[in-house]
Chains A and B, each alone.
Chain A
Amino acid sequence: MYRFRAEGPMEQFEIIPIFSLPTGSNLLAFTNSALWMVIGTGAIIVFFFAATRRAALIPGRLQSMAEVFYEFVSDLVRDTIGPEGRKFFPYVFTLFIWILVSNMFGLLPSLPGMPHALHTFTPTSHLIVTFALAMLTITIVIVYGLYKNGLGFFKLFAPSGLPLWLMPLLILIEVISFLSRPLSLAIRLFANMFAGHVILKLFATFVVSLLSAGGAVMLFGIAPFFGVIAVTALEFLVTALQAYVFAVLTCIYLNDAVHAADH
């Protein structure tokens, strides 16, 4: 009988280097996180390459799926930012699809007998990754906002109709609020992925330990086993929802940059 190996719930988040870059330093080593970023991105590229290879008038199954994604994000951008949001569409689309695939691939089961470095890994379960995506958005908002609105961009931080002596305090608070919103976004995505995976792992570990106990005890593993299936289904929903939330909030944030001077 195959011995199920139960890991601790945190082991799935460990970063394991696979090989170093020729620079010699381990700083930018190719790790399991990088591996799953490459796998996810590669899968997206293969999918879209196949879907758009022959752009047909009557779309095939792949093309229809790609068009569903396209229309979905396109509607989101148009509804939130308006026609000016068109130029951010590729960014929001890339963000959405990258996060979605990264989240979802992390739910795939690891192949048994694989070395730990090749176990499934969710890049978005690391705060630094979601934080970087949030910082990218913030940078785009500031740079584009200043370019588009000039100094009018700072009207974003000045609430109107308040006594003058309160202004400096409120402006400080608004600036901190502005800077912390993407961070809040990053924390939310990371925490959802993290919590979901921990719960899943705890459930699964429970099942595995019951199953490997053998005998009649194995029967008690059945209920938690269906629990694992239910939680996995819920997790798939959460991964999609979080990718969507990230895209929506990015759009709302970008909207500020586009319409800062209108306030």
Chain B
Amino acid sequence: MRGEDDPEAPKPSGAAWGRAMRASSDLLAGIFVGSLLGLGLDRLLGSEPWFLLAGIGLGFAAGLRNLSRSL
């Protein structure tokens, strides 16, 4: 990401805090969207909890994808 911390240079805690915040929000958002989609499909098809589980898994993968994109 432009403008923010350079991964090459270890910086004081402010930058580390920012990076931790970014990583956790990326991961969390992926899992959240994945499980939300799974939950919706489960509700729609009455297939609890299978889509939710798949959604959590895919969401985790998507979160990692976000992380790899932004770090």
Chain A interface residues toward B at CB < 8 A: 79-80, 169, 172-174, 176-177, 179-181, 183-188, 191-192, 234, 241, 244-245, 248-249, 252
Contacts and interface: CB of A to CB of B under 8 A. Distances in A.
**5 interchain residue pairs of minimum CB distance:** A184-B29, A176-B62, A183-B29, A177-B62, A180-B29
A244 B3 contact: yes
B62 A191 contact: no
A183 B62 contact: no
Q: Name B's interface SS.
A: helix
B37 A176 contact: yes
Contact of B66 (A79, A180, A191, A192): A180
B2 interface: yes
Contacts of A177: 30, 62-63, 65-66, 69
Contacts of B37: 176
27 contacts: A173-B58, A176-B37, A176-B61, A177-B30, A177-B62, A179-B33, A180-B30, A180-B32, A180-B33, A180-B62, A180-B63, A181-B26, A181-B66, A183-B32, A184-B22, A184-B28, A184-B30, A184-B66, A185-B25, A187-B25, A187-B28, A188-B25, A191-B25, A192-B21, A241-B18, A248-B2, A249-B1
A73 B25 CA distance: 25
A174 B58 CA distance: 9
Contacts of B33: 176, 179-180, 183
Interface string B38-64: 000000000000000000001101110
Interface of B: 1-4, 14, 18, 21-22, 25-26, 28-30, 32-34, 37, 58-59, 61-63, 65-66, 69
Contacts, number: 70
User: Which of B2, B14, B59, B65 is most buried by chain A, counting CB atoms within 10 A of its CB?
Assistant: B65
Contacts of B3: 244-245, 248
Contacts of A248: 1-3
Contact of A176 (B2, B25, B30, B69): B30
B3 to A, nearest CB: 6
Given A184-B26, A188-B25, A173 B2 contact: no
A181 B32 CA distance: 11
A173 B25 contact: no
Given A244-B3, A245-B3, 4 more contacts: A79-B2, A169-B58, A183-B29, A184-B30
Contacts of A241: 18
A73 to B, nearest CB: 13
B26 A176 contact: no
Contacts of B18: 241
Given A176-B59, A177-B65, A248-B3, A191 B21 contact: yes
Contacts of A234: 14
Given A184-B26, A248-B3, A176 B34 contact: yes
